[in-house]
A and B are shown apart, each in its own frame.
Chain A
Amino acid sequence: MPSEIGCYHLPIEAADGLAERSFGKLTLLLTLEERAADFRVLDCFDQSLRRSGRLLLETGGSLELFMADGRVLSQPTHHAARFVADLQEGPVKQALADVSPLRSLLPVGSGNLRRAAFALLDSGEKTHCRAHLRMMTDTGGAGAVLLTLQGLRGYDRSLAALREQIEACGGVELSCGGLYAALFPGQVAYTAKPEVIVAPDDTSLDAANTIISTYIPVARANEAGIIADLDTEFLHDFRVVLRKIRSVLSIFKGVYAKHQTTELKTKFAKLMEPTGRLRDLDVYLLERQKFYDLVPKTLHSGLDIMFKLFAEQRRAEFAKLARHLHSKSYQKDISQLAKLFHKRKKLKAGAKADRKAHDYACGLIWKRYSRVRKITARIGPETDDAEVHALRIQCKKLRYLMAFFRPIFPKTEFKSLIKPLKELQDSLGLFNDYSVQQASLQDFLHKASDWPNAVSLAVAQSVGALTAVLHHRQINERTKVIQSFARFNDPAMQETFQNLFHRREDKT
C-alpha cells in the first residue's frame, strides 16, 4: 500500500536528467507509454483551485484531481459538465465540494499529454517506490512534467532518496504553485479583490486614483465572461467593482474637482446601468429552488409560469447586455476612463486632494461609523423599511471605506471590526432581499393580471403565498439586524473604532 505520496512539477528536460541520476544500490526502471492523449487544465475564472494548491486535469474521458497534500483522485467525466454540480458522483466531485457552486469550470489551457512511469528496484527486483509522469505540452509549445510519487510501506529511505533527486532536478511541489506559469506562460491570474497599495503618507487624491485605476481592469477582465455567459459571477464581479468605484467618487468628497466628480459619477453609472435587470433575473433564477421550497407543492404551477417567464426575460436581457458590451460606445467609454486613471494627467484635484490618506481615511470612516450608529439608534420593530435600507447603504459604504484603506491600519484591530460589520451587513442584506423581492413580485403580479384567467389565478396564488412567507422572514430579520448591531456596537468595538479612527490628537 502506498505509504506516502507527493506531487511535483518539473521542466520537461529535467525529467530526462532524473532518469540518468544515480540511486545507489537501486536501479531505475522506466516505462514509456507510446500513446499520447489530449488534456485540458480546468479551473474557475478566479483560479480558486490553483490558489488552494490543487490541479484539475481532464484527459481521456477522466478527471484527475491533484490535491495539495499529494493525493491524486480520479473519476470519469463528460465534456458537458460546466459546474462542479454537473459532474457525476465520485471522489473528484466530493473533493471539489468547496468550489463555489456559482463558478463554472473553464479550460485554463490544453495540449498533449504522454504518460510514463518509473520504479526504483533493489537487487531482488523488488519495487521500493514509483513515480508516475505526465509529460504535458500545451498548444503553444510550452511544457512541464507532472510527477506523482508513490512510496511503498517500509521503504521510506528509498522514497526520500527519490524526492531528493527530483528536487535536485528542479522539481517543485505542486502546492507551491508555478505549474500554470510553466505550462501557459503569459496568462494573468484574475482576482476580484486585488490588493490596493495605499500608503499612509499618500494624498487622498493618490489613494482615490490608485483604488480606481486598480479596479477598472477588474471590471474589464469580466467582460468576455459576461458576453460568453460562462457563469453569473462575471456580471456580479463586474457590478461589484463598478459599485466600489462609484463609492469612491461619492464618499471621497473634495478629492476631485466638483464638476469632474459629477461627470465621472455619470460615466460610471452609465457603464453599470444596463446590467441591473440581468443581475436581478440571475438572482431569481439562481434562487429558484429556494422559492419552490417556500411554498407548498400545490402552488408550484404558478412558480413554473413565473420562472419560465424569468428565463425568457433573461435571454433577452443577456442578448441586450452582450450587444452593449460589444458596442463601440461602451468600449470607447471604458477605455477612456481606464486611460484617464492610468495617466492621471487630466484628473483635476479638489479642495481636499492634498490631505494625507491616513487622516483623510480616519475622518471618512469615523463620519460613516457615527452615521451608522445614529440610524441604528432609531431602528425598532415599527421603523419604516426605508430607514433599514438607509442603514444598509451606510454600512456598505463604511465597509468599502474600510476595505479601501485596510493597508494603512493595524491588521488585527482592523480585522476585529470587519467580522461583526460583515455579520450586520449579511443580516441587512437578507432584510433588503426580502423587501425587494416582495415589491418585485407585486410588480410581476400586476403584469399577470392581463393574462388568461387560469394562468393569472395560478400565478396570483403562488405569488401571494410567497409574499406572505417573505414578509414573515423580513420581520424576523429585522430582529436579527438589531441583535447584529448590538454585537457590532459593543463597548470594546466602540473603543477600537475610537482608537483607530478618532484619537484625541485627531480631534484637535
Chain B
Amino acid sequence: MKIIACYSNKGGVGKTAASVNLAYASAMSGKRTLLCDLDPQGAAGFYFRVKPSKKLTEANFFDDVEKFTKAIRGSDYENLDILPANMSFRDFDIFLSRMRDTRSRLKKSLNSVQADYDVIVLDCPPNISALSENVFRAADAILVPVIPTTLCQRTFEQLVDFFKQNDLPVKKLHGFYCMVQGVKSLHIETMDAMNSAYKKRFMAAKVPFATDVERMGVHRAPVMASAPNSAADKAYQALYQEVTKRLESK
C-alpha cells in the first residue's frame, strides 16, 4: 500500500483538485484507491457527492478502527472509495496533543485498511501542525502544488526548511506547478528559479490554469471524468504517471 499526500501549507493552491484527480487516475488504472479527506472543509468528499461523516469524530478517527472503516464510502467510480471529513477534524491537533505516539497515529489508523487498498491519497488541510507531521511520517510521497508565484515559492522554501530542521526526508517532497499560465513571465521566471534551486524536487508535469478545474464544483466530479481529453485531464494523467514512476523507483 502506497500513501500519497497532497499537501501545502498555503491554501487555495489546488491540493483538493490534485487529490481528487490523482485518486481518480489511480482507481482508473485498476488500483484499489482510498481518498482520505483530512480537511475539515470536506471539499474532496463534496466533489464526490459523499456526505460528511457524522460518527467519525476526531477521537474515533485515531482510536476506533471500526468507526474509521465504517465511515468509508464507495464513490460512484470503480475502485475508488472516499473517507469523508467533517468539521470535528479541525480539532485533530488538540486531540493528537493528548495522545501518546503523537506523530505516528495517522499511520496506525491507515494501516487498519491496508488490506483493502493499493493506494491511499490524503487531501490535507493547509497548515503545519501535529496532523501535518503525522502526514509527513505516514506518506510515501508528499505532493506539493505550487502556483509559480513569489508567495508560493516562499511557502515551499518554508516547507523544505521545516523538513530539514525536523530531520524529515526532503526526498519525500515532490513539487509540481499548478494553475500555470504560460503567458505570464512571472510564472516562467519563478519556475526556472525553483527548478534550479530544487533540482530533483519538482516534477515535469504541470497543471495549467483551466476553467474545467474550477467547474469541478459544479459537476461535482473529477475533471478527468467530467472533461476527458481536456488539457487539465491530460495534465493530471501525466502527473499521476510521473508520481507512480517516482514511487516505483524509490
Contacts and interface: CB of A to CB of B under 8 A. Distances in A.
A126 B50 contact: yes
Interface string B18-36: 0000000000000010000
Interface in A129-166: 151-155
B189 interface: no
A275 interface: no
A310 to B, nearest CB: 48
Interface stretch (B65-73, B125-133, B156-164, B238-246): B65-73
Interface stretch (B76-84, B103-111, B135-143, B169-177): B76-84
Interface in A1-29: 1-3
A1 B71 contact: no
13 contacts: A1-B32, A1-B78, A1-B81, A1-B116, A3-B74, A126-B48, A126-B51, A126-B76, A151-B74, A152-B76, A153-B73, A153-B81, A154-B71
Contacts of B48: 126
A152 B49 contact: no
Nearest to A119: B76
Contacts of A296: none
Interface of B: 32, 48-51, 70-76, 78-81, 116, 220
Nearest to B27: A1
Nearest to A129: B74
B72 A153 contact: yes
Contacts of B220: 124-125
Contacts, number: 38
Contact of B79 (A1, A125, A151, A154): A1
Interface of A: 1-3, 122, 124-127, 151-155
B73 A155 contact: yes
Contacts of A127: 76
Contacts of B80: 1
Given A152-B76, A154-B71, A154-B81, 20 more contacts: A1-B32, A1-B78, A1-B79, A1-B81, A2-B74, A124-B51, A125-B220, A126-B48, A126-B49, A126-B50, A126-B76, A127-B76, A152-B75, A153-B72, A153-B73, A153-B81, A154-B70, A154-B72, A154-B74, A155-B74
A122 B71 CA distance: 17
B248 to A, nearest CB: 23
Contacts of B32: 1
Contacts of A151: 74
B78 A152 contact: no
> Across chains A and B, which 4 residue pairs bring their CB atoms closest together, nearest first?
A152-B74, A126-B49, A154-B73, A153-B74
B72 A124 contact: no
A124 B73 CA distance: 14
B60 to A, nearest CB: 15
A125 B46 CA distance: 11
Nearest to B49: A126
A154 B81 CA distance: 9
A1 B49 CA distance: 15
Contacts of B79: 1
A3 B72 CA distance: 11
Contacts of A1: 32, 74, 78-81, 116
B218 to A, nearest CB: 13
A1 B77 CA distance: 8
A125 B116 CA distance: 26
Contacts of A126: 48-51, 76
Given A1-B32, A1-B80, A124 B74 contact: no
A122 B73 CA distance: 13
Contacts of A154: 70-74, 81
A28 to B, nearest CB: 15
Contacts of A124: 49, 51, 220
B79 to A, nearest CB: 6
A1 B32 CA distance: 8
A347 B231 CA distance: 88
A226 B220 CA distance: 61
A1 B72 CA distance: 10
Max chain B Cβ within 10 angstroms of own Cβ: one of A3, A127, A154, A155: A154
A127 B70 CA distance: 17
A124 B49 CA distance: 6
B1 to A, nearest CB: 14
A124 B32 CA distance: 24
A155 B80 CA distance: 14
Contacts of A3: 74
Nearest to B117: A1
Contacts of B116: 1
B194 to A, nearest CB: 38
Contacts of A152: 73-76
Contacts of B70: 154
Nearest to B71: A154
B108 to A, nearest CB: 21
Contacts of A125: 49, 220
Nearest to A154: B73
Max chain B Cβ within 10 angstroms of own Cβ: one of A1, A124, A151: A1
A3 B71 CA distance: 13
B68 to A, nearest CB: 12
A145 to B, nearest CB: 24
B119 to A, nearest CB: 12
A127 B116 CA distance: 21
A2 B76 CA distance: 10
Nearest to A150: B74
Contacts of A122: 51
Max chain A Cβ within 10 angstroms of own Cβ: one of B72, B73, B78: B73
A2 B80 CA distance: 10
Nearest to A128: B74
Contacts of B76: 126-127, 152
A189 to B, nearest CB: 37
Contacts of B50: 126
Nearest to B76: A127
Contacts of B49: 124-126
Contacts of A2: 74
A125 B220 CA distance: 10
A278 to B, nearest CB: 50
